Amino acid sequence: MQVISLCSQKGGSGKTTLTGHLAVQAALQGHGPVALIDCDPQGSLAAWWNSREAAQPAFLETTLATLGADLQRLREQDFRYVFIDTPPAVSMPILRVMEQSDLVVIPTRPSPHDLRAVRATLDLAERTGKPLIFVVNGAAARARITSDAAVALSQHGTVAPSFICHRIALASSMIDGRTVMEIDPEHRASGEIVALWSYLEDRLVRLANRVAFHRQRPTARSFGRRSDDNGLSAPPALAEEAVA
């Protein structure tokens, strides 16, 4: 199971809309079972889910105090992906969510205010050492400010190549508990969500493979090598030179 948290200090970055759409897309593609968690006190994602008729994605009610144990319960139930929506604030609770995540997604609108605000969210993510992906959200198609924002963000981390443009259909589709993919699969907004999830899912697969590789890789044993001041074994060439 892999946990994806959507985090941003800036309000209005589109975390809730993206969380719901990405979770539904993962479920639609058969990458489930999928679960949602709403850590935002406003409860917008929970309200949206309560108006849904579809069984997937599932919804988990939890608290920050029990988040780790509840995620473990989902693992034991063979859930594949868990998406977590977070409040627009930089605080210790958000840090705790990030610590439980396998991937931190930071939606950022292409505006000077949003770009300035991203530093605080980035600082928290860097403290956890978790992989992160910036998503340019609410973009204006073919506008220079969109590409400029992507370039600016790329100085701090990986930027998803699939931008999410500002489209009314994304927000209006969530009025009755659905997503734009469920209402109009041919809409451009649907294609953008599909492309974004395809990219994120590929990154998650790579992360999982990397973790599996390191778990299975045998620990190298060192014979007759001296250690440096940090307690690390010297490279073979240096060890041989020392013996000589």
User: Can you give the CATH number for the domain in which 49 is found?
Assistant: 3.40.50.300
Q: Does the structure show a pLDDT above 70 at 5? A: yes
pLDDT number for residue 6: 95
Question: What's the confidence (pLDDT) of residue 212?
Answer: 67
Does residue 222 lie within any of the structural domains? no
Domain count, the chain: 1
Q: Which of 64-68, 104-108, 224-228 has the highest mean pLDDT?
A: 104-108
Closest CA to 8 of 100, 90, 112: 90
Question: Considering the domain boundaries, does residue 221 fall inside one?
Answer: no
Cβ within 8 Å of residue 85, ≥6 positions away: 6, 15, 16, 19, 36, 37, 38, 39, 40, 44, 45
pLDDT above 90 for 70: yes
CA distance 22 to 16: 10
Label residues 177-211 b or e (16+ Cβ within 10 Å = b): bbbbbbbeeebebbebbbbbbeebbebbeeeeeee
Would 124 be classed as within a structural domain?
Answer: yes
β-pairing verdict for 2-6 and 81-85: parallel
Asked if 32 contacts 23 with a C-beta cutoff of 8 angstroms, the reply is no
**Weakest mean pLDDT among 34-43, 67-76, 232-241:** 232-241
Record the pTM.
0.83
pLDDT the model gives residue 215: 63
With CA atoms as reference, report the closest residue to 2 among 104, 94, 138, 126.
Answer: 104
Residue 228 within any structural domain of the chain = no
- Evaluate whether residue 127 is within a structural domain: yes
Reduced to 3 states (helix: H, G, I; strand: E, B; else coil), residue 92 is: helix
Rounded average pLDDT over 72-85: 95
Residue 161 inside a domain? The answer is yes
On whether the CB atoms of residues 139 and 161 are closer than 8 A, the answer is no
Query: At 193, is the pLDDT very low, low, confident or very high (cuts 50, 70, 90)?
Result: very high
Domain residue limits at 12: 2-216
The pLDDT value recorded for residue 214 is 61
Average pLDDT, the chain: 85
In a domain, 151, yes or no: yes
Confidence at 227, pLDDT banded by 50, 70, 90: very low
Q: Is residue 241 part of a domain?
A: no
Contact 49, 174 (CB under 8 A): no
Q: What pLDDT, in 10s, does the model give residues 6-53?
A: 999 888 889 999 999 999 999 999 888 999 999 988 899 999 999 999
